[in-house]
Amino acid sequence: MTPEFDLPLVILRTNRKKTVSIEVTPSNIKVSAPKRLSHRVITDFITERSRWIEKNVQLQLAQPKQIPRTWTDGEMFAYLGQEYALNVTRKSADMVEIGEGSLNVAIPFGTLELDEKNTVKSLVLAWYKQKATKTLTAKSFCYSKLLKVEPTSVRVREYKSQWGSCSVSGVISYDWRIIMAPLKVVDYLVVHELAHLLEHNHSQKYWKHVETTIPNFREQQSWLKLNARMLTI
């Protein structure tokens, strides 16, 4: 019998997996397994990892719920671990920039009041993605030299349940929302993905590569698990 948890359990069968893996997200527990593996083997694996699963489920449930954005003055936005209050003004051209304690967003004079929130949202999203692309590309270049690896390309996108990926062809991808996290956490994510170019798994050898470059990586890993739900707009 499959153990019961406080989040729904989803089992995904795929030809791309050679082993069973478990990921606990804010909405479910995702178990990925090879198609050839019997249900009994998968159930036994889940049972063996039940304490680890339950611990991570409770971590997810303990995270504060996201409050819907209003896109109005004074609302707080995170950037590289710091909080900035939204400050909307009207100017001749649109602009987004960080000020002293504020995220300054200028929208064109002709913007209709009904369109103001959507305009602010569009500008802020574009600004975040631009900053994420610039920062993550630069850090990937820097850490690839330390790890002595060469990614084929670096991409920034939006994921639903992960912060990055490394393809077998060497393409490194990141979720742009990581730019809201502290710089040390950003560094950890970059090294986490680049290290897969050395070991395309999560073996002890893989984690040794991560630890050599980011000695306190477990602290950054824990921060990301605890605060993942807050890194969103």
Higher pLDDT, 164 or 227: 164
> What band does 89 get if pLDDT is binned at 50, 70 and 90?
very high
Across the chain, the runs of DSSP E, i.e. the strands, are 9-14, 21-24, 29-34, 76-79, 82-91, 95-98, 102-108, 153-157, 164-166, 171-175
Whether residue 66 is predicted with pLDDT greater than 80 in this model: the reply is no
Which pTM was predicted? Answer: 0.77
Provide the pLDDT for residue 113: 79
The structural domains of the chain, ordered by start, are 9-62 (no CATH), 76-230 (3.30.2010.10)
Per the prediction, the chain carries an average pLDDT of 92
Provide the pLDDT for residue 76: 95
Token pair 């019997």: residue? 38
Higher pLDDT, 57 or 79: 79
The answer for residues whose C-beta is within 8 angstroms of residue 40's C-beta and 6 or more apart is none
Q: What is the pLDDT of residues 97-128, one digit of tens each?
A: 999 999 999 999 988 778 999 999 999 999 99
Token pair 């993550």: residue? 136
Count other C-beta atoms under 10 Å from residue 41's C-beta: 13
Q: What element of type H or E holds 136?
A: helix 116-147
Whether residue 152 is predicted with pLDDT greater than 90 in this model: the reply is yes
